[in-house]
Amino acid sequence: MADFWRQIMSRAVILRHTVTSRAHLTPELALRLITPACPLWRAGGDQLPFPDPYWGFYWPGGQATARLDLS
């Protein structure tokens, strides 16, 4: 049961700190990202609700690979 609540809380934190974006190389995919509109974009390490949110950015290599796969 603890895993269930951890997943629910993680989802809530992600939804609160990201926005749905299509402003990237694969606009047919709606992604939850950290963008300039999000407070985390400017947050320092001590202000993050989780360590190193690398998952919140659509890295260029991932965009190129996805574009190739979708084309």
Instruction: Identify the H or E element spanning 13.
Output: helix 2-17
pLDDT at position 63 is 94
For the whole model, what pTM was predicted? 0.72
Number of domains in the chain: 1
The domain in which residue 34 lies consists of 2-46+55-70
* Mean predicted lDDT score pLDDT of the chain: 85
Which comes out higher in pLDDT, residue 28 or 1? 28
Residue 10 has pLDDT above 60, yes or no: yes
Q: Which of 23, 43, 48, 25 is nearest to 33 (CA)?
A: 23
